[in-house]
Amino acid sequence: MAALSEKLKSPFLLWSALLLLALWLRWPLPEPGWQHVDEWVYVVHPLGFWGGDFNPHFLIYPTFHLYLLSALYYIYYLLFSPESLEAFVAYRYFVDDHDLVALARGFNTLLAVGTVAVTVHLGRRLYGEKGGWLAGLLLTLMPLHVRFSHLANTDVPSTLWISLALLWSVRLVQEEGRRSDALLAGVFAGLAGATKYPACLVLVPVLAAAWWSGPDRLRHAAIAAAAALAAAALATPYVWLDWPRCWADLTTSARQHLVEAEHRTADAPWLHLLHHTLWYGLGLAGMASLALAFLWRPRTWSSAEKVLLVGMGVFVLLLVSAQSVFMRYALPLTPMMAVLIARPLLGLKPGRLILAGWLAALLLEPAWSSLQARALVSAGDTRMQLRQWLLQQHPEGARILPSSEIAGNLGLLSPAPLYVRQKRFSGRFDLQRLIRAYALLSQRPDLPPLYLAWNPAIAEEYAAPQPDQAAGSALVLSYVHPLCPPNQAIAALDGAGRIDWQERFSPGDPAQAVFDPVDWNFVPVAGWGAQQQTGPDIHLGKLALRVGHPLPSSQAFFALLHGLMAGKVAAAAEDWRETLRYYEPILKTPYFLPEVLPDFYTYGVYLDAGRAYQGLGQFQPALACWQEATRLEPGKGEAHHLIGLAYSALGQEIPAVQAYLRAISLQVDDPGVYYNLGLSLVKLNRLPEAVAAFEACVARKPDADAYVNLGVLYTNAGQPDRARANFARALELAPNHPQAAAIRQELQAAP
Higher pLDDT, 682 or 462: 682
313 and 386 inside one domain: no
Contact present, 331 and 201 (Cβ < 8 Å): no
Interval 14-69: pLDDT, tens: 888 999 999 999 998 877 777 787 888 999 999 999 988 999 988 899 999 999 99
Any domain includes 588: no
Q: Helices 12-26 and 352-378: crossing angle, nearest 10°?
A: 40
Provide the 10 A C-beta neighbour count for residue 345: 22
Establish how many alpha carbons lie within 13 A of residue 238's alpha carbon, considering only the half-sphere containing its beta carbon.
20
Any domain includes 515: yes
Mean pLDDT of the chain: 90
Residue 234: predicted pLDDT: 96
Residue 446: predicted pLDDT: 92
Pairing, β 499-505 against β 451-453: unpaired
407 and 360 inside one domain: no
**Confidence at 8, pLDDT banded by 50, 70, 90:** very low
Interval 414-428: pLDDT, tens: 888 888 899 889 888
Higher pLDDT, 548 or 258: 548
Higher pLDDT, 413 or 460: 413
pTM comes to 0.89
Interval 364-386: pLDDT, tens: 999 999 999 999 988 889 988 99
Distance CA 306, CA 328 (A): 24
Query: What residue type is 313 in one-letter code?
Result: G
Interval 289-320: pLDDT, tens: 999 999 988 888 999 999 999 999 999 999 88
Interval 490-515: pLDDT, tens: 888 888 888 999 999 999 999 899 99
Contact present, 398 and 390 (Cβ < 8 Å): yes
Query: What residue type is 681 in one-letter code?
Result: L
Any domain includes 322: yes
DSSP string for 469-518: G-SEEEEEEEEESTTSPPPHHHHHHHHTT-EEEEEEE--B-GGGSB--SS
Residue 338: predicted pLDDT: 97
Interval 84-109: pLDDT, tens: 999 999 999 999 999 999 999 999 99
Q: Which segment of 160-174, 467-481, 559-573, 615-629 scores lowest on mean pLDDT?
A: 467-481
Residue 749: predicted pLDDT: 65
500 and 539 inside one domain: yes
150 and 192 inside one domain: yes
210 and 351 inside one domain: yes
**Confidence at 3, pLDDT banded by 50, 70, 90:** low
Q: Which of 515, 545, 575 is a domain's end point?
A: 545
Q: Which of 358, 377, 396 is a domain's end point?
A: 377
Distance CA 86, CA 147 (A): 36
**Confidence at 406, pLDDT banded by 50, 70, 90:** low
Distance CA 220, CA 216 (A): 6
What percentage of the chain exceeds 90 in pLDDT?
A: 62
Any domain includes 299: yes
Contact present, 613 and 622 (Cβ < 8 Å): yes
Any domain includes 709: no
Q: Which of 351, 377, 403 is a domain's end point?
A: 377
pLDDT at 667 over 70: yes
Residue 454: predicted pLDDT: 79
pLDDT at 746 over 80: no
Nearest residue to 552 via CA among 447, 434, 408, 424? 447
**Confidence at 4, pLDDT banded by 50, 70, 90:** very low
Higher pLDDT, 471 or 656: 656
DSSP string for 232-249: HHHHSTHHHHTHHHHHHH
Contact present, 431 and 543 (Cβ < 8 Å): no
Residue 404: predicted pLDDT: 67
Q: Which residues span the domain enclosing 470?
A: 382-413+448-545
**Confidence at 738, pLDDT banded by 50, 70, 90:** confident
DSSP string for 419-471: HHHHHHHHHHS-HHHHHHHHHHHHT-TTPPPBEEE--HHHHHHHB-SSGGG-S
* Peptide bond preceding 30 in cis form (omega within 30 of 0): yes
Any domain includes 479: yes
DSSP string for 104-132: HHHHHHHHHHHHHHHHHHHHHHHHHHHHH
275 and 133 inside one domain: yes
Higher pLDDT, 277 or 411: 277
215 and 104 inside one domain: yes
Any domain includes 558: no
206 and 158 inside one domain: yes
Residue 103: predicted pLDDT: 96
311 and 398 inside one domain: no
Any domain includes 202: yes
Q: What residues does 450 pair with on adjacent strands?
A: 413
pLDDT at 7 over 70: no
360 and 227 inside one domain: yes
507 and 538 inside one domain: yes
Interval 620-656: pLDDT, tens: 999 999 999 999 888 888 999 999 999 999 999 999 9
Coil, strand or helix at 347: helix
CA dihedral 639, 645, 647, 651 (to 10 degrees): 180
Q: Residues 646-649: contacts with CB within 8 Å, 24+ apart?
A: 646/610, 646/614, 646/619, 646/620, 646/622, 647/623, 648/676, 648/679, 648/680, 648/683, 649/614, 649/619
pLDDT at 392 over 60: yes
Residue 20: predicted pLDDT: 96
Backbone angles phi, psi at 504, to 5 degrees: -145, 135
| Number of domains into which the chain is organized | 2
296 and 373 inside one domain: yes
Q: Which segment of 181-190, 256-265, 573-582 scores lowest on mean pLDDT?
A: 256-265
DSSP classification of residue 709: H
Q: What residues does 402 pair with on adjacent strands?
A: 477
